[in-house]
Structure 1
Amino acid sequence: MEIEAKLQSKLEKIFPEQSEREKATEVLAEYGKETYEQEPIRVRLAILKMAGPSIEKLHEFTSAAKGDFRDVLSWAEYPRQSKHWSATGAKKEKLVSADLNEYETWLNT
């Protein structure tokens, strides 16, 4: 499934009511309007993961992404690694695996 389709699917699951989904889509669309706002679909997914079903939190995380999109990507995609950047060896591998598993599970459910 294409990443755009994943975003739409997650929106439909998190916001089953069309009016709320439309509000969420409008908020998410705020990120990616500027040429310097990179990877808009990936960042919107990260915002959605962090905010869950809260329009207020969507606003908060969208604002954070507009400041520095890497923060939101880190929080959503690498929550364990972002707390333990200096980890090495087996510990780092466990963190990477756990973060990847968490994100893929969220993305595919």
Structure 2
Amino acid sequence: MSWINKIFGTKKNKEIVEQSVAKITNAELEFLINREFPKNTDLVKSKLNEIRSDSQYGKNRISAAVLKIANSDLTKIDFLITKANEDFRDIISEAEYPRVSKHGFGERNEKELKTDNLNDWTEYTDWKNKKRTHNNV
């Protein structure tokens, strides 16, 4: 058995638990910046431009993750961008998969993992789709 099958299993012996992946358009990112930092949009856009990624899709996804974790706190942006440029997976997992990322491989059974994935995705989409933050109500 390959190491991949040992970690993730095979379709024969268990159902594969999939995680949803955020897709952030340019328009959605613009909305998120304006919602999270209405008084500092130009500054935040300039800072987010420092994020390194091989694609615009990746840059948008990482930028949205930074915005979510910053929770409308401008003082957190620089640190989060630095962290994202060191290893973007840390930022993505914290923003999109907070419950799942707290546990190592094999620590959760399939039902728990499905529940965590669903709760993580619900939390992320609720954040992404809300109209206003607490700072700009």
TM-score, structure 1 as length reference: 0.87
Instruction: Determine which structure has more spread, i.e. the larger CA radius of gyration.
Output: 2
Give the alignment partner of residue 43 of structure 1, picking from 62, 81, 86.
62
Shift of 1:54: 1.8
Task: Flag the structure with higher helix content.
Answer: 1
Instruction: Report what 1:53 is aligned to.
Output: 72
Separation in 2, partners of 1:50, 1:69? 13
Tell whether 2:26 aligns with 1:7.
no
Separation in 2, partners of 1:60, 1:76? 15
Query: Which structure has more RCO (C-alpha within 8 Å, separation ≥ 6)?
Result: 2
Instruction: Report what 1:79 is aligned to.
Output: 98
Q: Secondary structure at the match of 2:85?
A: helix
Shift of 1:35: 4.9
Structure 1 residue identity aligned to 2:25: I
Shift of 1:88: 2.1
Structure 2 residue runs of 5 or longer lacking an equivalent are 1-23, 131-137
Give the alignment partner of residue 112 of structure 2, picking from 78, 91, 94.
91
Post-superposition CA distance 1:22-56 (Å, at most 9, x none): 11111111002x659x8111000001100122222
TM-score, structure 2 as length reference: 0.70
Instruction: Report what 1:101 is aligned to.
Output: 122
Aligned length: 105
Structure 2 residue identity aligned to 1:21: T
Structure 1 residue runs of 5 or longer lacking an equivalent are none
Q: Secondary structure at the match of 1:39?
A: helix
Separation in 1, partners of 2:63, 2:109? 30
Q: What is the CA RMSD across the aligned residues, in angstroms?
A: 2.0
Q: Which runs of 4 or more aligned residues in structure 1 lie more than 2 Å from their structure 2 counterparts after TM superposition?
A: none
How many percent identity over aligned positions? Answer: 30
Tell whether 2:50 aligns with 1:30.
yes
